[in-house]
Structure 1
Amino acid sequence: MVLLVFVILIAPIYIDPLFNTYRSLPEGPLRDRILSIAHATGVPADDVVWFDASRQTKRISANVAGFGGTMRVALNDNLLRRSPPEGIEAVMGHELGHYTLNHMYELILEFGAVLLLGFYFAAWAFDRAVKRWGDKWGVRGIEDPAGLPLLVALVSIYFFFLTPVTNSIIRANEIEADRYGIATSNQPDGFATIAMQLSEYRKISPGYWEEILLSTTPPATTASAQPWNGKPSTAVVR
């Protein structure tokens, strides 16, 4: 649980700056529009920063991270350089959605429950396995170092079969943030443009079971083609 809190709430604010330089976004229409969306959604942002992610990747990204006085609205230089203003607004609306809808805290609770269930399963399965095969394997109990490979195997099996569940949790949050972002930015075409850019490193149209089992985000074609707010996107060729 502590690790989850660290990764989701603390690392973006205190660890990420060790690897990238963060600077305030210059004053202008884009900065004003992002802050306007933030204030309209109740996010107490007084600055927007950008960071030099192009040192490590070509991917576009943004985030609204932290809590209380550490809250930060950030986007990377790839997004600034490669995407149109309406696309950037849609992305920031999406990220502000994650923050406003408390997705960070939901993930901590949901994945915390998954971890606790995993520990219970591993302990239960380990005990049963040792009772049946412990003498043969030379494993006396869960505190025996000789049982570590078995414990690792059980945990791996658990998370393998839980992958569709954890992916679905994340995907549901992403869909909710998509809808929130388009509603607040009013940029369905900008969103569609971003969805196509993201398809550079995500499969643009996975099969049904591939999406259900493996995807943490909705497919670009599905997301882009939806008539958000009654206005179908014209940015995707059908």
Structure 2
Amino acid sequence: MARKIGLYGIIGYFLYGLFFYWYLFHFTNTSLPFEYQGTVADPATFLNGRELMLSEEYSKIRNLLFFLSTPFEWLFYLFIMLLGLSTLFKGWSEQSSKYKFVQTSIYVAWLSLFAFIATTPLSYISYKLSKQYNISTQSFGGWMKDELIDFWVNFGMMVLIVCVLYWLINKSAKKWWLYAWLLTIPFSLFLMFVQPVVIDPLYNDFYPLKNKVLETKILDLADKANIPAEHVFEVDMAEKTNALNAYVTGIGSNSRIVLWDTTLNKLDDDEILFIMAHEMAHYVEKHIYIGIAGYLLMSLIGLYLTYKIMEWVISRYGSALKISSVKDIRSLPLFLMIISMLLFLSSPISNAVSRYQETRADSYAVEMTKDAEAGISTFQELTRAGLSQVNPPFLVKVFRYGHPTMLERITLLEDYQIEHRDD
């Protein structure tokens, strides 16, 4: 049975990869519909021939890597169970200590290490791709440093989560999913609160915006929107990427408005103010809190489904997967695999909600600044800097895009220009 499951897993992953290769490289047509050709949304009007070619090449390969990486994670967890590695990790952990917390930590350490080794080649390919197309400016040492920080941050959180999770499972085999969900509420809020001041600085240096004239303009804009902001932060990203970004992060007193220095270097003040107005819209329309509520709802459904699926899988395939019960720490790879699958399958819903919020934020920004031209030039520069497709394939948009496509974003602003031409 174990061999059959493993064979089906490999064949399924191979066919899945072939489908997306065919879909991305031979089936889809990313050219613009006739009615948009020659407009400001047409990349041929603001990208040169080489940039057009590179954006298509880069986007196709990057999208293929995205669609291959998540199911590869599922395959990894499947073989951790089928090959008995999960049993081996459990044995090593029990031999190392008599304390349950230490045993769990050691098990998680081995699982995390093997996952890191298995997924690093795909991560490296993605890094080399972005380097080849001049998106990434990061040295190999810098990239490896970030990967190791990721590993230790994820390991620390994983140990805490797994210890609590399996304590709940052992205490209540039928309701652990509900108790786990109740704990995700304060834990998620805590993470959002500490991320800007504890986690993010591990990767980059943050400091108050140096351009005080621009900061005054941004804070004036925030004041118009009744946003209690006192400082704008910039982050040193030029050593890592040529891409542009700005965002609002955190909640409560730890909320921050952050600009990448690449954005400051490549956009003028009007374009930056448009981006800031867009980010402020998320605060004004309470998108952060709506997002938290949506995440908690999806988490509740996801944990319940995980509970039901784990019970079914173990009852039917437990011997092949070498899992005796849900309480067994060896079921952790199954738990992680199911969670990953549910996140992937639910991403079209979360992305659709996010795209709606981002469209609202674009509309708010142009209404607030009355500067559609700055918005259009901003999105054109974002396309150029990130070598993005203006009109991506349908499945790419559905599974990858938390923002509207550049075609949709630029067209919205162009429509605003036409409607207010005589204002």
TM over 0.5: same fold? yes
Q: 1:219 to 1:138 in 2, by over 3 A?
A: closer
How far apart are the structure 2 equivalents of 1:170 and 1:156? 19
1:121 pairs with one of 292, 305, 310: 305
**Residue number in structure 2 paired with 1:74:** 258
AA of the residue aligned to 1:203? Q
AA of the residue aligned to 2:355? R
> What SS does the aligned partner of 1:172 have?
helix
Q: For 1:169-220, what per-residue CA distance to the aligned partner results, in whole angstroms no more than 9, with x for missing partners?
A: 2222211211112221222111111212222323221133432333111111
| 1:138 to partner: Cα distance | 4.3
How far apart are the structure 2 equivalents of 1:137 and 1:209? 32
> What SS does the aligned partner of 1:49 have?
strand
**Residue number in structure 2 paired with 1:84:** 268
How far apart are the structure 2 equivalents of 1:63 and 1:157? 28
2:356 pairs with one of 172, 181, 205: 172
8 A Cα contact 2:206 2:233, kept in partner: no
Identity of aligned residues (%): 23
AA of the residue aligned to 1:220? M
| 1:119 to partner: Cα distance | 1.1
| 1:137 to partner: Cα distance | 4.5
Higher relative contact order (CA 8 A, sep 6+): 2
| 1:31 to partner: Cα distance | 2.9
Q: 1:25 to 1:99 in 2, by over 3 A?
A: farther
Q: Which has the larger radius of gyration?
A: 2
**Residue number in structure 2 paired with 1:217:** 403
Which structure 2 residues correspond to residues 130-209 of structure 1 after superposition, within 5 A? 130-135=314-319, 137-199=321-383, 200-201=385-386, 202-209=388-395
How far apart are the structure 2 equivalents of 1:110 and 1:186? 31
How far apart are the structure 2 equivalents of 1:229 and 1:8? 36
How far apart are the structure 2 equivalents of 1:228 and 1:10? 39
Q: 1:166 to 1:137 in 2, by over 3 A?
A: same
How far apart are the structure 2 equivalents of 1:155 and 1:6? 21
> What SS does the aligned partner of 2:238 have?
helix
Q: 1:156 to 1:231 in 2, by over 3 A?
A: same
**Residue number in structure 1 paired with 2:208:** 23
AA of the residue aligned to 1:23? P
AA of the residue aligned to 2:294? E
Tell me, yes or no, if structure 1 residue 107 matches structure 2 residue 291.
yes
How far apart are the structure 2 equivalents of 1:182 and 1:82? 20
Unaligned runs of 5+ in 2: 1-183
> What SS does the aligned partner of 1:54 have?
coil
Unaligned runs of 5+ in 1: 234-238
RMSD over aligned Cα atoms: 2.4
8 A Cα contact 1:24 1:49, kept in partner: yes
How far apart are the structure 1 equivalents of 2:358 and 2:305? 29
Q: For 1:82-124, what per-residue CA distance to the aligned partner results, in whole angstroms no more than 9, with x for missing partners?
A: 0122211110001111122221222112112212211111110
Moved beyond 4 Å, runs of 4+: 135-138
Q: 1:21 to 1:172 in 2, by over 3 A?
A: same
8 A Cα contact 1:225 1:232, kept in partner: no
> What SS does the aligned partner of 1:53 have?
coil
AA of the residue aligned to 2:206? T
Aligned length: 232
8 A Cα contact 2:196 2:255, kept in partner: no
**Residue number in structure 2 paired with 1:10:** 194
Whichever structure has more helix as a proportion of its residues is 2
8 A Cα contact 2:366 2:413, kept in partner: no
| 1:132 to partner: Cα distance | 2.8
How far apart are the structure 2 equivalents of 1:56 and 1:227? 31
Q: 1:51 to 1:158 in 2, by over 3 A?
A: closer
